[in-house]
Amino acid sequence: MNTILITGAGGFIGRNLVSHLRHRDDVRVLEYDLGGTEADLRRGAAEADVVFHLAGVNRPRDPAEFEAGNAVFTANLCRILAELERAPRLIASSSVQAILDNPYGVSKRHAEEVLARFASDTGASVAIYRLKNVFGKWCRPNYNSVVATFCHNIAHDLPIQINEPGRMLELAYVDDVVAAFLKEIDEPSRPKGSLVSPDAIPSYSLTLGDLAERINSFHEMQLSLRVPDFSIRFNQQLYATYLSYVEPERWQYGLDIKSDTRGNLAEFIKSPSFGQVFVSRTRPGITRGNHYHHTKTEKFFVIAGEGLIRFRHIEGTEILEYRVRGEDYQVIEIPPGFTHSITNVGTTELITLFWASEVFDPDRPDTFYFPVDLREVP
C-alpha cells in the first residue's frame, strides 16, 4: 500500500484529488494544508511513498508572498525530505505562467528549479506539471478562475464583467488533471526530474465571450429546456462545473403543463442534436394523435397504465395495433408516413413518455392531422 502525502490538500485541486483517492483501498492519504506546522509536514514526509505537492500561492495581498508561498515552501519541503533521507516519487503542480516574468511566474519557475535540484541530488523521481487554467467543482469564485467566477455569478443572478470578449482562454478540467496525477501512481515510468508537457492533459481553447454564452445558456435551461450537445466533452464538464455553484433551492423546478379535456402534457428537455422529450397523462377512453409526419420520427414509451397504439399507412387501409402496458417496458417506434394514435384503454390514467427526433418548430411542424380510422376521415 502506498502512503501518499498531499500538500495543499484543502485547495481546489487537492480536494478533488483526495476525493478520488478515497475510493481506493491500495493507498493511505496524508493531508497537509494551510495552518499545518513544519512538524506536521515532517511527519507526513517521513512516511510518504508518493508526494503530491499542490500547495502554493497564486493571489496574495503582497506580491512578495509569491516567492515565499511557492519557491521557499517547495525548498522547505525538499529540505525536510533530504534531512529524512527520503526520496519519494514527487509530483508537483506548476503553471504555464512559469515561462513568464511576472511575480507569480517567476516564483513557480524558481520552485521548478528547486525540484529539479532535489531530483538531481537525491535520485528522486520528480514530475512537474505546468497546468493551464484549471476549472471544475469546488474552485473558489471571484479569486483567480474566470470559469468559477462566471459560474458562481450567473448561477446567483449576479453580473459578470467582460472587457475583452474575444480574448482566448486555455482551460483544463480538474478531473483530467486528477486522472493524470493518478497515472503517476499507477504507471510511474516517467524519467526522473521530468517537466511534463502542458499538452499531457486535455485542454480547450475558446473565447471569453463564448465561455460566458455557454454558461448563460446553462442558466436558462430550466426555462428553455434546451440542453447543449453533451457529446462534446467540454460542454459536459462545463455544465457539471456550473451546476456545482447552483444553490439547493434552485435544484427543483417546474415544467410548463398544458392541460385540456384529454389530460395534460409537458415538455421535458430539448436539443437540436437529439430532438426533444415530453410526457403526457391521458384520461381513460381518450385518444391522442391521429396525425402523421414526413420526416420527424418518434418513440412512445408507456410507463403507467394501458394503451392501444394504432397505425395506418397514409396511402393504405390496413390498421396495425399494438397494446402496451406500463409494467412491460415496451417502446413503440413511430415511422414517417404512418398516421398514428394512442388510446387509453385502461381504467387508470395513462402516462406516456415521448421522444421526437426534432424540436417542435411551429413554423415547420411536420405534423398533419389524418385519422387512423378511415371512417373518421373527412
CATH number at residue 359: 2.60.120.10
Same domain, 88 and 177: yes
Stated pTM of the model: 0.91
Same domain, 185 and 270: no
Same domain, 54 and 182: yes
Give the model's pLDDT for residue 171. 97
Interior angle at CA 102, CA 12 and CA 197, nearest 5: 60
Same domain, 264 and 196: no
> Domain for residue 250, yes or no?
no
Same domain, 191 and 89: yes
> Domain for residue 144, yes or no?
no
Q: Would you say residue 87 has pLDDT above 90?
A: yes
What are the grid coordinates assigned to 247, written together?
444553490
Give the CATH number for residue 112.
Answer: 3.40.50.720
Residue 100 belongs to what domain range?
2-131+171-203
pLDDT digits (tens, 9 = 90+) for 208-264: 999 999 999 999 999 999 999 999 999 999 999 999 999 999 999 999 999 999 999
CA 258 to CA 238: how far, in whole Å?
A: 32
HEC string of the chain equals CEEEEEECCCCHHHHHHHHHHCCCCCEEEEEECCCCCHHHHHHHHHHCCEEEECCCCCCCCCCHHHHHHHHHHHHHHHHHHHHCCCCCEEEEEEEHHHHCCCHHHHHHHHHHHHHHHHHHHHCCCEEEEEECEEECCCCCCCCCCHHHHHHHHHHCCCCCCCCCCCCEEEEEEHHHHHHHHHHHHHCCCCCCCEEECHHHCCCEEEEHHHHHHHHHHHHCHHHHCECCCCCCHHHHHHHHHHHCCCCHHHCCCCCCEEEECCEEEEEEEEECCCEEEEEEEECCCCEEEEEECCCCCEEEEEEECEEEEEEEECCCCCEEEEEEEHHHCCEEEECCCEEEEEEECCCCCEEEEEEECCCCCCCCCCCEECCCCHHHCC
Same domain, 48 and 192: yes
- Say how many C-beta atoms besides its own lie within 10 A of residue 248's C-beta: 6
> Domain for residue 302, yes or no?
yes
What are the grid coordinates assigned to 332, written together?
413503440
Give the model's pLDDT for residue 61. 82
> Domain for residue 165, yes or no?
no
Amino acid at 49: D
Q: What is the mean pLDDT of residues 349-359?
A: 98
Give the model's pLDDT for residue 190. 60
Please give the tally of structural domains in the chain: 2
Same domain, 189 and 55: yes
* Percentage of the chain modeled with pLDDT above 90: 90
Q: What is the mean pLDDT of residues 331-344?
A: 98
pLDDT-derived band at 315, boundaries 50, 70, 90: very high
pLDDT-derived band at 64, boundaries 50, 70, 90: confident
CB neighbours of 83 closer than 8 A, spacing ≥ 6? none
pLDDT digits (tens, 9 = 90+) for 91-114: 999 999 999 999 999 999 999 999
Q: What separation in angstroms does the CA of 63 have from each of 53, 54, 102, 107?
A: 21, 19, 10, 10
Same domain, 263 and 343: yes
Same domain, 59 and 125: yes
Same domain, 199 and 262: no
Same domain, 88 and 188: yes
Cα dihedral sign for 86, 192, 181, 102?
A: positive
> Which of 57-61, 147-151, 193-197, 198-202 reaches the highest mean pLDDT?
147-151
> Domain for residue 112, yes or no?
yes
Same domain, 285 and 191: no
CB neighbours of 289 closer than 8 A, spacing ≥ 6? 339, 340, 341, 342, 372
Q: Would you say residue 192 has pLDDT above 70?
A: no
Q: Tell me if 15 sits within 8 A of 59, measured CB to CB.
A: no
> Domain for residue 262, yes or no?
yes
The residue out of 184, 203, 222 marking a domain boundary is 203
> Which of the residues are catalytic?
104
> Domain for residue 67, yes or no?
yes
Of 56-70, 296-310, 323-337, the poorest mean pLDDT is in 56-70
pLDDT-derived band at 191, boundaries 50, 70, 90: low
> Domain for residue 208, yes or no?
no
Q: Would you say residue 189 has pLDDT above 70?
A: no
